[in-house]
Structure 1
Amino acid sequence: MTATDSSILNQYLVGKEPFYQPQHDEVALFEAAYRKRLPVMVKGPTGCGKSRFVEFMAWRLGKPLVTVACNEDMTAADLVGRWLLDKDGTRWQDGPLTVAARYGAICYLDEIVEARQDTTVVIHPLTDHRRTLPLDKKGELIRAHPDFQLVISYNPGYQSLMKDLKQSTKQRFTGFEFDYPNAELEAGILVQETGVAPSIAAQLVTVAATARRLKGHGLDEGISTRLLVYAAMLMDDGVAPRAACRMALVQPITDDADIRATLEHAIDMTFA
């Protein structure tokens, strides 16, 4: 690795160990996938720890992590790169996918279903035996660095006919199915992440359980572990439990007055 390669990759290294609480054997399975450089798909609801897991694995493996937050306006050029004009004329600028493939990083495409299907097809040559990335506009064919791995994530709950991965894309990946942790594990995560008292953590998880039972019955998504962390952080700063819960757990997930009333009742009963 040249000094230039090293300086490019250093900015993507995960410098501090992220806290991640394994639920099953996902850590060992991801390590096995990385040893064979298999592409990985991580599925699960919003805020259940998908991105934290990928960040943790990059740290554990000691590999740079290039993250792309996918959106419907993202083009193939946003991923692979484009020609730019400057004072000296034109110059090529690699996109994040190209940087990862060229120099040897884990490339994480977060919520990939948000991107247009004509954009995501550019990953296909990187996810089979070819492990190549054609830069058509530059006339270059990149052969992926031996350390390169592609990881994608998405929320199956938001799938629709217009927002789903093609089977030709899905079947290029190994996969994990994530869900919210069980009550004891989730309470432990809150304690570890925020320092909140175990009794308060258990109460927050109880409120979350009520909301998650409403998924599909007025709520598109239940309360995520991420939002529970937010509520615990507010409490740690002195905000009253009920106010913290309304701010972090109710207002962000629904505008429906009846659903809000149900959740607020659960909060009042739990923090009576």
Structure 2
Amino acid sequence: MSEINALDPQQYIIKNEPFYRPVSDEVELFESAYASRMPMMLKGPTGCGKSRFVEYMAHKLNKPLITVACNEDMTASDLVGRFLIDINGTKWQDGPLTVAARIGAICYLDEVVEARQDTTVVIHPLTDHRRVLPLDKKGELVEAHPDFQLVISYNPGYQSMMKDLKQSTKQRFGGFSFDYPAEQIEAEIIAKEADVEMSIAEKLVQIAQRSRNLKGHGLDEGISTRLLVYAGQLIGKGVSPNKACRMALITPLTDDLDILDTLMTTVETFFEE
């Protein structure tokens, strides 16, 4: 990607409105946070709609969105940029955080706790009154565009002493706590996203509820809304509900044979064949 193209905000605009079903007043609150460019932190379990919410808000605000999937191998250079060597010599290439700061995008760092702590500290100058990003290797101080906003997310269920945000990082953000939606709302989401009948969606949600009761009793996480959508899509393609649930809900969740049997029995309770 050339630098000229990378700095074109239009390529980061979400053209089609993502489906998002508000569960409370989070849309209005995020709009207020964006109006003051407050950095925001989204906390919640896997597959509960955090990323979809950010996409929806970026579209609603008509702002470019640059998403970074954080991982334990990610370095500060992966975020801010690095010098590259080509046939013409050495040139600087901005990282996604720098591009977002230059063009006034919403920069979304997904699962930020997966990144090393020495990497996440580079966001500090962008998340206080300074709103700047030092590019030490290049000798440049990037002043964030007036429209720039930083949003991070993580799953508190996976926190540990080795994988947690420092207080010096946490206290730079406003925050939302996400969870799986109420049963009826979640069923509406499944029916819409997977294009299945409400009766099927409601059964899938009931199966998920049973699995979530096993969190801490054999499961690290219950069945997510995302996986329910996958199961619904398979059912919509003509796959039998039992096979769809085994493929999309149960097999990805655990390797424990007893838990597998328990979950499969639950599926058979709701989808008799």
Range into which the TM-score falls when normalised by the shorter chain? over 0.9
Give distance in 2, aligned partners of 1:129 and 1:7.
24
SS of equivalent residue, structure 1 residue 22: coil
1:202 aligns with 2:205: no
Secondary structure, counterpart of 1:176 in structure 2: strand
Amino acid across the alignment from 1:101: A
Q: Closer, same or farther in 2 for the Cα pair 1:117/1:205, shift >3 Å?
A: same
Report the identity percentage: 70
Does 2:57 correspond to 1:57? yes
Contact preservation (8 Å) 1:100, 1:148: yes
Equivalent in the alignment of 1:68: 68
* Distance change (3 Å), C-alpha of 1:50 and 1:198: same
Q: Which residue is equivalent to 2:36? A: 36
Q: CA deviation at 1:8?
A: 1.7
- Where in structure 2 are the equivalents of 1:154-173 lying within 5 Å? 154-173=154-173
Amino acid at match of 2:39: P
1:223 touches 1:249 (CA, 8 Å); kept in 2?
Answer: yes
Deviations 1:200-224 (A, max 9, x none): 0000001000000000110000000
User: Quick one: structure 1 residues 163 and 153, their matched pair in 2 at CA, closer, same or farther if it must change by over 3 Å?
Assistant: same
2:119 counterpart residue number: 119
The structure 1 segments of at least 4 consecutive aligned residues displaced by more than 3 Å after TM superposition are 4-7
Is it true that 1:192 corresponds to 2:192 in the alignment? Answer: yes
Task: Report the Cα distance in structure 2 between the residues aligned to 1:15 and 1:78, rounded to whole angstroms.
Answer: 27
Whichever residue aligns with residue 105 of structure 1, its letter is: A
Give the C-alpha shift of residue 126 in structure 1.
0.2
Equivalent in the alignment of 2:144: 144
SS in structure 2 at match of 1:163: coil
In 2, distance between residues paired with 1:5 and 1:58?
20
| CA drift at 1:7 | 6.2
Gaps of 5+ in 1: none
Q: Do the aligned residues in 2 keep the contact of 1:5 with 1:103 (CA within 8 Å)?
A: no
Once superposed, what is the RMSD of the aligned Cα atoms?
1.0
Matched residue of 1:261: which SS? Answer: helix
Instruction: Tell me, yes or no, if structure 1 residue 135 matches structure 2 residue 135.
Output: yes
**1: CA distance between counterparts of 2:244 and 2:230?**
8
Could you list the per-position Cα deviations for residues 198-257 of structure 1 after superposition, in whole angstroms to 9, with x for gaps in the alignment?
A: 100000001000000000110000000000000000001100000000000000010000
For 1:52, the aligned partner's letter is R
TM-score (norm 1): 0.98
Residue identity matched to 1:190: I
SS at the partner of 1:142? Answer: strand
How many residues are treated as equivalent by the alignment?
269
Amino acid at match of 2:145: H
* Cα shift at 1:6: 9.2
CA distance in 2, matches of 1:9, 1:93: 17
Residue in 2 that maps onto 1:84 = 84
Secondary structure of residue in 1 paired with 2:72? coil
TM-score calculated relative to the size of structure 2: 0.97
For residues 82 and 225 of structure 2, what CA distance do their matches in structure 1 show? 38
Give the secondary structure class of the aligned counterpart of 1:73.
coil
Letter in 2 for 1:26: E
1:227 match = 227
Alpha-carbon separation, structure 2, partners of 1:164 and 1:133: 23
Separation in 1, partners of 2:195, 2:83: 48
C-alpha separation in 2, matches of 1:144 and 1:204? 44
**Mapped partners of 2:74, 2:243: distance in 1:** 38
SS at 1:66's partner residue? strand
Structure 1 Cα separation of the partners of residues 62 and 136 of structure 2: 32
